[in-house]
Structure 1
Amino acid sequence: MADYAEITYAVADRIATVTLNRPEARNGYTIRMADELGAAMDRADRDEDVRVVVLTGAGKDFCVGADLSQDGFDFDPSTGPDAAWQEPAGRCSKRIFAMNKPVIAALHGAAVGGGVTITLSCDYRLASEDSRFGFVFTRRGIYPEGASAWFLPRLVGMGTALDWMISGRVFPAAEALEKGLVHKVFPAGTVLDEAYALAREIVTATAPVSVAVTRQLLYRMASAASPFPVHELDSRLIGGLGASPDAVEGVMSFLQKRPPEFGMRVDKDLPPYLPWLDA
C-alpha cells in the first residue's frame, strides 16, 4: 500500500513520519485509516533505513476518535462480523506493540476515544499544552477498544484507568502528564519539533538491534510471573555479547569519545531464540 488516502507517509533522516490526514474531519478515525496505519507501520518496520517512527495528525487535532458520520464497520451489522474480525483501533495498537522500531506520538488538540487508544502502545507520547484526552466510550454507550483495557492500567495504574474509563470525562494535558499518560508537555506549536529532536537522538546514539530487543523485552516480559524467566533470557543475551559487533562498537566508541557507528540490522541480526519471534 504505497499510496494512502487518509494518512501520509514520508521518510527523512531515518525517521518515518506517519500523519493522520483528514483535517477536515478532525482526523476522525475510519476503517480505511486503521488499515492504512497498519500498513504504514508495517512498511516502516520492514525498512532498514527507518530507525524511528513519528506519529502525528494534520490540522488542529490529533484525532477526535471514530468518525461517527461513517458506517463504522466493515461488515453487515445485521449479521455481525465473522470470528476473525478485528476492531479497527486494535489493528493499529497491536501493530505498534509488535514493532521493532520505537514510535513517538506527537499529540495536539483532541486525542479522544480511538484517537488516544491507538497511541497507548507507542514508546513515547509527547503532548502540546492544548492537548485534551478522553476515554469517552461510556458516554457513547460503547466499550473501550484498541486493547486499551490492557495498555492503560500498565501506564497509569488501575485507579486512574478506572476513573478515566468509567467517567468518560475529557481531561487536559497537565493531568495526562501528572498521571503518566504522556511523557512531556510542550508549548503549543512545538511538539512535532520536539518529537523529531527525540527521534534524532535515538537515531544517532542507539543501536537498532539493541533497541528492538529492549523494547520487546519490556512489553513481553513485564507480565512474567517472576523475575526468573526474565533473568534466564537476560543471561542468554548477555552471554552472547562477545560475538556482537554492536557491543564492541558501543564500548570502543565510548572509550574513543566518538559517535557510535552500529552496523547490526534488525532484519538479519535479532537473536533467533527470542521467545516472541514465534508469536
Structure 2
Amino acid sequence: MDISDYGDITYEVEERIATIRLDRPQARNGYTLRMSDELEDALQRADRDEDVRVVILTGAGTDFCVGADLSGGGFDVSAGDETSGQDHWQEPAGRCSRTIHLMNTPVIAAIHGAAVGGGLTITLSCDFRLAATDSRFGLVFTRRGIYPEGASAWYLPRLVGMTRASDWMISGRIFDADEALASGLLTSVHAPHDVHRAARALAHDIRDTTAPVSVAVTRQMLARLAGEPSPFPAHEVDSQLIRDLPTNPDAIEGVRSFLDKRPPNFPGTVPHDLPSSLPWTDQPTRTST
C-alpha cells in the first residue's frame, strides 16, 4: 500500500516524528476495516523507517475515535482473504494494537473528545496516552451485546488493575479523563488546545535524549517480560545485556556525553544493532505484511 492510497487516515513525517491521524472527522473517526488496513500499514511503515524515532497517533476533528462505524446498521467482519481460513482472521482493532505491541518505535496516543470501544482499545498497547480534559472514555461492549476486542482483556488489567478493569468493562459505563488518569490509564491530561503540543514535546524529548536501540530493547522487555510469573527471566535477559556494555557504542557515547555535559549522539540504529542475545530474536517483531 502506498501513502497516496490512504483514505481513512493521514500519514506525515516531520522532524523525525511520524504523525498518524485518523481522518474521518465527519463520522467522528468511526473505525472501519479500511482504517484498520491503513493503520497497520502506516504503523509498520513508520517502524521500518530508521529516520522515524517516535510515532504520534491522533484523530482529526472533535473526537479521537467513537469506535466501530455502525452507520451500516451492523459490524463488517469480512475476512478478506478466504484462503487463510476463519481461524486466522484477526479482528480489526486487535490488528492495530498487535502491530503497536510488536513495534520497536515508541507510540504516543494524543486523545481528545471521545475514545470509545475500539477507539480506546487501539491505544492500550501505546507507550503513552495523553488526553485532553474534554476526553471521554468507554469500553461499551456489554451495552452493545458484543465482546471486548483489541486484546483489551489482556492490556487493561495490566494498566489499571483487575478491579477497575472489571468495573469499566462489565458495566460499559463512560468515564472522564480525571478518572482515567487517577486509575493509571493515562500518562497525563492537558487542556484541549495543549494535548497535541504536549505529545510533540514528549516526542521531541525522546528523539533528542534517548538511544533508538535502548528504546527498542526496553519496549521489547516490557512487552515480553512484564507478564512472567517471576523476575528471574528478566534477570537473565538483564545479565546478558549488561555484560556487553563495555563494548556497546551507545553505552560508551551515553557515558561520554554525560561527562562532557553535551547532548548524546547515539550511533546505533534499529533493527541493525539490536542485541543478538535477546531470547526472542527468532520471534516476530512486527505483523506480516
TM-score (norm 2): 0.93
TM-superposed CA distance for 1:276, in Å, is: 2.4
TM-superposed CA distance for 1:190, in Å, is: 1.1
Q: Distance in 2 between matches of 1:61 and 1:194?
A: 17
Q: Distance in 1 between matches of 2:210 and 2:71?
A: 44
Q: 1:64-83: per-residue Cα shift (whole Å, max 9, x none)? A: 0000124522249xxxx611
What corresponds to 2:192 in structure 1?
188
What is the letter of the counterpart of residue 7 of structure 2? A
Is the Cα–Cα contact under 8 Å of residues 129 and 186 in structure 2 kept in the other structure? Answer: yes
Is the Cα–Cα contact under 8 Å of residues 96 and 150 in structure 2 kept in the other structure? Answer: yes
TM-superposed CA distance for 1:257, in Å, is: 0.2
Q: Distance in 2 between matches of 1:72 and 1:59?
A: 24
**1:257-268 equivalences in 2 (<5 Å):** 257-268=261-272
TM-superposed CA distance for 1:6, in Å, is: 0.4
TM-superposed CA distance for 1:225, in Å, is: 2.0
What is the letter of the counterpart of residue 197 of structure 2? D
How much is the aligned-residue C-alpha RMSD, in angstroms?
A: 1.1
What corresponds to 1:159 in structure 2?
163
- SS of the residue corresponding to residue 185 of structure 1 reads strand
Q: 1:173-202: per-residue Cα shift (whole Å, max 9, x none)? A: 110001011111001111011000000000
Q: Does 1:148 align with 2:156?
A: no
What corresponds to 2:99 in structure 1?
95
**1:197-236 equivalences in 2 (<5 Å):** 197-236=201-240
**1:5-84 equivalences in 2 (<5 Å):** 5-70=7-72, 71-75=75-79, 82-84=86-88
- SS of the residue corresponding to residue 88 of structure 2 reads coil
Is the Cα–Cα contact under 8 Å of residues 66 and 72 in structure 1 kept in the other structure? Answer: no
TM-score (norm 1): 0.97
Q: Distance in 2 between matches of 1:199 and 1:268?
A: 22
Is the Cα–Cα contact under 8 Å of residues 16 and 52 in structure 1 kept in the other structure? Answer: yes
Is the Cα–Cα contact under 8 Å of residues 173 and 185 in structure 1 kept in the other structure? Answer: yes
Q: Distance in 2 between matches of 1:32 and 1:278?
A: 31
Q: Distance in 1 between matches of 2:225 and 2:65?
A: 31
- SS of the residue corresponding to residue 266 of structure 1 reads coil
**1:174-185 equivalences in 2 (<5 Å):** 174-185=178-189
Q: 1:76-129: per-residue Cα shift (whole Å, max 9, x none)? A: 9xxxx6111110000000000011010000000000000000000000000000
What corresponds to 2:123 in structure 1?
119
TM-superposed CA distance for 1:228, in Å, is: 1.3
TM-superposed CA distance for 1:208, in Å, is: 0.2
Q: Distance in 1 between matches of 2:43 and 2:51?
A: 14
Q: Distance in 1 between matches of 2:78 and 2:97?
A: 18
Q: 1:114-171: per-residue Cα shift (whole Å, max 9, x none)? A: 0000000000000000000000000000000000000000000000000000000001
What is the letter of the counterpart of residue 83 of structure 1? D
What is the letter of the counterpart of residue 14 of structure 1? R
Is the Cα–Cα contact under 8 Å of residues 107 and 127 in structure 1 kept in the other structure? Answer: yes
- SS of the residue corresponding to residue 69 of structure 1 reads coil
Q: Distance in 2 between matches of 1:53 and 1:5?
A: 19
TM-superposed CA distance for 1:277, in Å, is: 2.4
Is the Cα–Cα contact under 8 Å of residues 241 and 277 in structure 2 kept in the other structure? Answer: no
Higher mean C-alpha deviation, range 255-264 or range 81-90: 81-90
Q: Does 1:277 align with 2:281?
A: yes
